[in-house]
Amino acid sequence: MSSKERIFVYIIGFGIGLLLVSFIMSRRAAKEEQAVDPWVTHNQVAVEEGAEPLPTTLPDALQKGRILTFGYLPNATEPAERVWLLNFDESYPYVRIVEQVVDGSLQYMAADQILINLRPEIDVTEMQPMLDQLGLRVRMFNRKEHLLVVGVLSTQIDAVPATIAALQPWADRFVSAEPDFIRMQPKRPE
């Protein structure tokens, strides 16, 4: 086989390989696009059925979120909190905004995870059986800081407090279980 034939075979092989890789990648991307995210599809009808608008005192960055669902806790007849679940494309995807009905104070937190601060003598692996029993998934952990980030039980507006309450039988293993609060940076003077 001459050098020209080898180069020709090499170019043909490279072209076929490039086409195969392109096909595989486009097929994988199409499959990922078709996967249904339960947070996006969950209860979008609530907006059309009378979800209250976001408080005007929210920071500008949070005003841009799409309302996935809205509700009152503990219930609509005796509300103590108004709760919105928002979706964002550019930043953290799911945010839970809680407004206290009494004083109008606001809290912002991740809607799909909580933080658990473990006792120093407890290793992350010791929490796994309890989390498995509740059907919770570990998202991240830091052994050095005894920190565990765990997904929530559901996509409902009470998922964060319900998950924290579900962990209480094992409260002797952690210092605290709390929402993953979002701390907004103060506006920089211009």
- Which tens digit of pLDDT belongs to each residue from 104-124? 999 999 999 999 999 999 998
CATH number for the domain spanning 135: value is: 3.30.70
C-alpha–C-alpha distance, residues 179 and 112, integer Å: 9
17-42: pLDDT as tens digits:
999 999 999 988 887 777 665 554 44
- Per DSSP, the residues of 110-169 read EEEEEEEEE-TT--HHHHHHHHHHHT--EEEEETTTTEEEEE-S-SSTTHHHHHHHHHGG
Domain endpoint, select from 63, 81, 110: 110
Same domain, 117 and 177: yes
For residue 154, the Cα-to-chain-centroid distance in whole angstroms is 11
Same domain, 125 and 87: no
- Average pLDDT on 154-173 reads 94
With tokens 């609530």, the residue in question is 46
C-alpha–C-alpha distance, residues 58 and 127, integer Å: 36
Q: Is 178 helix (H, G, I), strand (E, B) or coil?
A: strand
Question: Looking at the domain assignment, is residue 173 inside a domain?
Answer: yes
Question: Looking at the domain assignment, is residue 188 inside a domain?
Answer: no
pTM over 0.75: no
With tokens 């108004």, the residue in question is 82
The pLDDT assigned to 58 comes to 86
Find all residues with CB under 8 Å of 23, minimum gap 6, and list them.
none
The pLDDT assigned to 43 comes to 38
Q: Domain containing 137: what range?
A: 112-181
Same domain, 101 and 123: no
Count of the separate structural domains present in the chain: 3
Question: Looking at the domain assignment, is residue 189 inside a domain?
Answer: no
Q: How does residue 47 score in pLDDT terms, banded at 50, 70 and 90?
A: low
| Whether 94 contacts 38, CB under 8 Å | no
The pLDDT assigned to 42 comes to 42
Q: Which residue has the higher pLDDT, 56 or 161?
A: 161
* Most confident region among 38-47, 56-65, 123-132 by mean pLDDT: 123-132
The pLDDT assigned to 109 comes to 95
| Whether 162 contacts 83, CB under 8 Å | no
Backbone angles phi, psi at 66, to 5 degrees: -90, 135
Question: Looking at the domain assignment, is residue 190 inside a domain?
Answer: no
Question: Looking at the domain assignment, is residue 131 inside a domain?
Answer: yes
Which letter does DSSP use for residue 182 in this model? -
Question: In the predicted model, is pLDDT for residue 125 greater than 80?
Answer: yes
